[in-house]
């Protein structure tokens, strides 16, 4: 058989595969965040259901919502949401043909990271700044 | 040389034109969710507290129940399409793949139905 270049699909990274760039890390993180957000949606729905069953059932659920573990989980959900949001806008822009060149894609990747950091930092501050009655 | 199957030729079937359906619906739900999640995050952060009265009053207020139902419906739909791609990309054994896809479908349908039911139950309950 002749030595032909293989598609990088046969070997993702390393010799003969894709060269690492932070853009391909963002790409896989988009999926990771998306799957994480399904669990965030599950949390939202459980919260709504507990409220729909009345004050007593909500009162039983509330300590679970205001504890430190819940605030950490909510912070992670906010990071996943803001990242998936900004990177999703980037994907939608690509779909209409904007910013697909390598330099533009790298620039928008930096913007996604910056936007995620700013929005998450603000939301996490709000999540932890609220008192005992907060989310 | 035609690549069309003989049966398709006999039945005179062309392309079904739904080849891009999955891709398209994923984009449309994303486009709708973008403003909705900004709204939801803003609303949740501006709740005075997480008490039962505050939360139910918020859900009952104005169009909030409608928008919240849309968030639950579209997020379930978008999540279902996205997880389908993830499953199809990483699980190639036929039986586990089909089992996971069916499970994902059921879970997302349950999320959408129960979430909207909960919102409606709160919104339609007469204020005690």
Neighbouring C-beta atoms of residue A52, cutoff 10 Å = 21
Nearest residue in chain A measured CA to CA from B59: A48
Closest by alpha carbon to B30, among A99, A94, A74? A94
Residues A13-63: pLDDT tens digits? 666 667 777 888 899 999 999 999 999 999 999 999 999 999 999 999 888
Interface test with B, best of A45, A74, A79 (most B CBs within 10 A): A45
Residues B2-57: pLDDT tens digits? 777 888 778 877 777 777 899 999 999 999 999 999 999 999 999 998 999 999 99
CB B87 within 8 A of CB B100: yes
In this prediction the pTM is 0.87
Task: State the Cα–Cα distance between residues A45 and B55, nearest whole angstrom.
Answer: 13
Tell me what pLDDT residue B64 has: 97
Tell me what pLDDT residue B15 has: 74
With an 8 Å Cβ cutoff, are A123 and B121 in contact?
no
Reported residue count of chain B is 128
Residues A60-97: pLDDT tens digits? 988 888 889 999 999 999 999 999 999 999 999 999 99
The C-alpha angle with vertex A11 and arms to A6 and A12, in degrees rounded to 5, equals 120
Distance from CA of B52 to the nearest CA of A (A): 6
């Amino acid at each position: 058989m002749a030595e032909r270049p293989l598609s990088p699909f046969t070997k993702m990274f390393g010799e003969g595969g894709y060269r690492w760039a932070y853009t391909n890390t963002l790409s896989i993180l988009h999926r990771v965040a998306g799957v994480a957000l399904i669990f965030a949606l599950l949390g939202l729905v459980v919260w709504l259901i507990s409220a729909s069953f009345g004050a007593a059932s909500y009162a039983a659920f509330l300590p679970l919502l205001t504890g430190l573990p819940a605030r950490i989980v909510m912070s992670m959900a906010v990071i996943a949401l803001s990242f998936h949001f900004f990177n999703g806008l980037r994907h939608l822009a690509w779909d209409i043909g904007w910013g697909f060149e390598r330099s533009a894609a790298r620039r928008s990747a930096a913007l996604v990271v910056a936007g995620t950091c700013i929005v998450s930092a603000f939301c996490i501050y709000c999540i932890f700044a609220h008192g005992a009655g907060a989310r | 040389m035609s690549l069309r199957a003989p049966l398709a030729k006999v039945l005179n079937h062309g392309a079904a034109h739904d080849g891009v359906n999955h891709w398209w619906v994923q984009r449309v739900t994303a486009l709708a969710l973008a403003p909705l999640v900004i709204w939801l995050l803003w609303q949740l952060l501006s709740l005075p507290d997480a008490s039962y009265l505050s939360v139910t009053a918020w859900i009952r207020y104005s169009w909030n129940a409608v928008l919240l139902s849309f968030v639950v419906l579209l997020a379930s739909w978008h999540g279902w399409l996205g997880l389908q791609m993830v499953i199809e990309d990483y699980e190639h054994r036929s039986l586990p793949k089909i089992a996971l896809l069916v499970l994902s479908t059921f879970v997302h349908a349950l999320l959408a139905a129960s979430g909207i039911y909960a919102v409606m139950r709160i919104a339609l309950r007469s204020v005690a």
